[in-house]
């Protein structure tokens, strides 16, 4: 048996997008930017890692309704790797390397306001198995 979990805090890069599977199951996707800053000598370095998050069922509907670009969230879930077990990697037109990390969310917590009281909201997502994913 193996187990892995990833926890990421970041801000939505754009509004979430919701759709339905052929059997009517709601699924929502959003991009999450996790920022890290550190000093390298006298220079301050900003590093951004992007994640594509997939949320299923009732939590998909909640995320679609209440999240918007810029909103801060905490996502718990598992990384989805390509057939070789690694993230998708490519180069920009300028030749800079890029990678895409995908998360199948189990929990999404809304952070830092936007819900009227500035508090946190949490609802568990029901993860789908590999066989249930229609794409």
Q: Hey, what domains does the chain have and what are their CATH numbers?
A: 6-132 (2.40.50.140)
**Which region among 8-12, 40-44, 90-94 has the lowest average model confidence (pLDDT)?**
90-94
Cα separation, 108 vs 70, in Å, equals: 15
Q: Are strands 43-56 and 97-111 parallel, antiparallel or unpaired?
A: parallel
CA distance 62 to 57: 9
Residue 127 has pLDDT above 60, yes or no: no
Predicted TM-score of the model (pTM): 0.73
> Smallest Cα–Cα separation from 65: which of 25, 15, 5?
15
> Which of the four pLDDT bands, split at 50, 70 and 90, describes residue 114?
low
């Amino acid at each position: 048996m193996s187990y892995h979990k990833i926890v990421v805090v970041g801000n939505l890069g754009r509004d979430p997008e919701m759709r339905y599977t052929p059997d009517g199951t709601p699924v929502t996707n959003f991009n999450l930017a996790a920022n890290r800053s550190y000093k390298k000598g006298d220079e301050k370095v900003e590093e951004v890692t992007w994640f594509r998050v997939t949320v299923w069922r009732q939590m998909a509907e909640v995320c679609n309704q209440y999240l918007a670009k810029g909103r801060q969230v905490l996502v718990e879930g598992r990384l989805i790797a390509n057939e070789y077990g690694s993230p998708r990697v490519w180069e920009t037109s300028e030749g800079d390397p890029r990678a895409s990390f995908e998360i199948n969310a189990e929990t999404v917590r809304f952070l830092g306001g936007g819900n009227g009281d500035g508090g946190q909201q949490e609802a568990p997502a029901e993860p789908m198995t590999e066989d249930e994913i229609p794409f």
